[in-house]
A and B are shown apart, each in its own frame.
Chain A
């Protein structure tokens, strides 16, 4: 199949599903058909994503529509997340939404709207990660807000409508800043290239970035960081995030936190790559470290004081996006690669926990941690999965978050930011305290006598078990294809290729690095050192 066909099918699949679901009647009898179309579209997206990843790993290019759409190693990482997490949270939706329908929380019409908008949301996120046209990139990120706003306000309650309103206003305003950054970059590129066709493509701009006007590039990066940083949930533009993530249906929260934030971060990373080449590393890295560090500090403290499980998880997302920004700000192949690996790891762990919060809602009917007690006794498998997710999020080995957090800290210390990393370590300790509260009270505590025993159904548990397996697998052994993608992706960002194996510490110690022992050793020695790098361009 031609690569251009692959990308068009990838977009058309979920869009077609949206149209078909909207056309189906809003009756409970049509529910199975709606679910079928929904699942089929997600399976198609997953299958196409896997095929695209296979081609990228084989070194083949994937592009379409005159290079307006393309997938490189950097985009492939985020595309993979949409495929995997989109499919698993979509599969989880089946049981969750059926529960809401039977409980009278949703009616058949809203269930139909839910599934139609779910596919639309997936399509807009796909568009954002495969856009090479910088204006289309902006259009796609803006469209993710519009596609998901009604998902956030689906329940129609006072709080969910309020969350949806804040989400739309803050994100559209924020992303409007992104448009300014986009236009400035395009104008800057047009001056250098002398033609508009080339200046609209990210791949062309980045290859000519060293000739861009430095002042305009700096201004554009500030606008982009504020704009897309709002959508990524970076402090101080994060105000929409705790409300939207807590009020949305849990599978949507998983998508918002596990995928959407990463899509916005990808756009920031693409402009980071341009700015690095245009003005050097100091300016963009300083801004990213500043916003990343502040996000970690503020989110850690707010995380600790929350009593609402989903709100707690939402603040944790701000904290982890902050860590990714910090890794990018530290820079070098290890800092950037660690940030990208953390994006993958956080996506799996947070989706697992948001699905877990859905199980809590199905069993207890509340997200208030003061009322959610003894999950392990009430719903044992859900309890174990929730506990596993919480331990992973706390950064404990052998789970995946530990690996990428460890890499960011190593990168920071090697780059000389010892005090910054110590401070971040302290804030992450505060988060561990909050997660232990969840485990000791809500998972292990004494369950209410009146609550019926018995777990939620297999339709909800299976996707969570797969997510947990991914969390564990990525913590035990970073697969070679993932490590290879991370190497290539960090090379795309910084413009230099470094032979760093992105492995777990135990792979490193046992000499099972992706490219053998010699490369594995470089995990702790190569960050930012020119001696191990070779110019890529």
Chain B
């Protein structure tokens, strides 16, 4: 019997997979872990669709599978695979222990915030809601702490997965066209970032965000 416990459990798995994306040695590995994470997200959508009997969420699952499990990782593998900064490597972010500790703090803080929100329809999914918010902030912390601009793109993808889960938890009644609009924006964002990242690498021969400091003041 499917229940919201499964949704909350799968949401917890998102935090684990997000750490795998952030801590991966190469951007190719990050792309693969991102595909796995997106698959977890699709499973959450399917579980929610089954529990709520919501037809829209089945469509969301299909579009999320196509865009996030297949398309975005493929773009990342194809484009990012050609870009490698010898000096920077895949790292440049927080040490693993600090990154994991940070994620714990973020999850706790998000639980505190979500407990204060009074939405009767969301009472049974508050853990998942807290995780989705935490996931969003973990993506943000990835962008802020990672020097590798390709990792920053994955940080954005993590943020987007977090907000997508919030959308499914709180706004699954929204028309399908709305979800399509958000998914299209997310895809274009990744494509635009991939093209810009490639041009930066071709021009500057680096992927290090700390080298992008000509404009100051």
Binding site for B on A (CB under 8 A): 133, 135-136, 138-139, 142-143, 145-146, 149-150, 153, 156-159, 161-166, 168-169, 172-173, 176, 179-180, 183-184, 186-188, 190-191, 195-197, 199-200, 213, 215-216, 219, 242-243, 246-247, 302, 305-306, 311
Q: Is the CB of B182 within 8 A of A179?
A: yes
- Interface presence of B196 (CB below 8 A): yes
The residue on B at minimum CB distance from A247 is B215
Residue numbers in A under 8 Å from B173 (CB-CB):
190, 195-196, 199
Q: Is the CB of A165 within 8 A of B167?
A: no
Name the distance in Å between B23's Cβ and chain A's nearest Cβ: 20
The residue on A at minimum CB distance from B172 is A196
Q: Is the CB of A216 within 8 A of B159?
A: no
Residue numbers in A under 8 Å from B94 (CB-CB):
none
Alpha-carbon gap, A306 to B121, bound state (A): 52
Known contacts A150-B192, A216-B117: A186-B185 contact under CB 8 Å: no
Chain A interface, DSSP helix/strand/loop, else mixed: helix
Q: Is the CB of A183 within 8 A of B171?
A: yes
The residue on A at minimum CB distance from B114 is A219
Alpha-carbon gap, A306 to B119, bound state (A): 48
Q: Is the CB of B199 within 8 A of A156?
A: yes
Please, could you name 8 A-B residue pairs with CB atoms under 8 Å apart, sorted by A? A158-B214, A168-B189, A169-B156, A183-B163, A200-B178, A216-B117, A219-B117, A305-B217
Name the distance in Å between A191's Cβ and chain B's nearest Cβ: 6
Q: Is the CB of A216 within 8 A of B119?
A: yes
Within 8 A of A (CB), among B118-162: 118-122, 133, 136, 140, 143, 149, 152, 156, 159-160
Q: Is the CB of B199 within 8 A of A153?
A: yes
Given A133-B178, A159-B214, 15 more A-B residue pairs with CB atoms under 8 Å apart are A135-B174, A139-B185, A149-B192, A150-B192, A153-B199, A156-B199, A161-B204, A166-B212, A169-B152, A173-B156, A176-B159, A180-B163, A184-B117, A242-B217, A243-B215
The residue on A at minimum CB distance from B149 is A165
- Interface presence of B113 (CB below 8 A): yes
Q: Is the CB of A302 within 8 A of B212?
A: no
Q: Is the CB of A135 within 8 A of B181?
A: yes
- Interface presence of B71 (CB below 8 A): no
- Interface presence of B166 (CB below 8 A): yes
- Interface presence of B200 (CB below 8 A): yes
Name the distance in Å between A275's Cβ and chain B's nearest Cβ: 15
Q: Is the CB of A161 within 8 A of B196?
A: yes
Q: Is the CB of B181 within 8 A of A163?
A: no
Looking at B119, B167, B189, B217, the one whose CB has the most chain A CB atoms below 10 A away is: B189
Q: Is the CB of B203 within 8 A of A158?
A: yes
Name the distance in Å between A343's Cβ and chain B's nearest Cβ: 25
- Interface presence of B95 (CB below 8 A): no
- Interface presence of B88 (CB below 8 A): no
Alpha-carbon gap, A14 to B217, bound state (A): 36
Q: Is the CB of B189 within 8 A of A146?
A: yes
Residue numbers in A under 8 Å from B200 (CB-CB):
161-162, 165
Contact of B175 among A142, A149, A161, A196 (CB under 8 A): A196
The residue on A at minimum CB distance from B191 is A146
Contact of A190 among B121, B152, B178, B195 (CB under 8 A): B121
- Interface presence of B75 (CB below 8 A): no
Looking at B113, B116, B143, B214, the one whose CB has the most chain A CB atoms below 10 A away is: B214
Q: Is the CB of B215 within 8 A of A146?
A: no
Name the distance in Å between A354's Cβ and chain B's nearest Cβ: 17
Q: Is the CB of A187 within 8 A of B121?
A: yes
Contact of B215 among A142, A163, A216, A302 (CB under 8 A): A163
- Interface presence of B193 (CB below 8 A): yes
- Which 7 residue pairs across A and B have the least CB separation, nearest first? A196-B173, A187-B170, A139-B181, A135-B178, A162-B212, A243-B215, A142-B185
Residue numbers in B under 8 Å from A164 (CB-CB):
196
Alpha-carbon gap, A190 to B184, bound state (A): 24
Q: Is the CB of B160 within 8 A of A187?
A: no
Residue numbers in B under 8 Å from A161 (CB-CB):
196, 199-200, 203-204
Looking at B117, B143, B152, the one whose CB has the most chain A CB atoms below 10 A away is: B117
Residue numbers in A under 8 Å from B188 (CB-CB):
143, 146
The residue on A at minimum CB distance from B56 is A196
Known contacts A135-B174, A153-B196, A162-B212: A302-B117 contact under CB 8 Å: no
Contact of B118 among A157, A165, A215 (CB under 8 A): A215
Name the distance in Å between A144's Cβ and chain B's nearest Cβ: 11
The residue on A at minimum CB distance from B173 is A196
The residue on B at minimum CB distance from A149 is B192
Alpha-carbon gap, A199 to B152, bound state (A): 34
Alpha-carbon gap, A135 to B179, bound state (A): 9
Name the distance in Å between A456's Cβ and chain B's nearest Cβ: 26
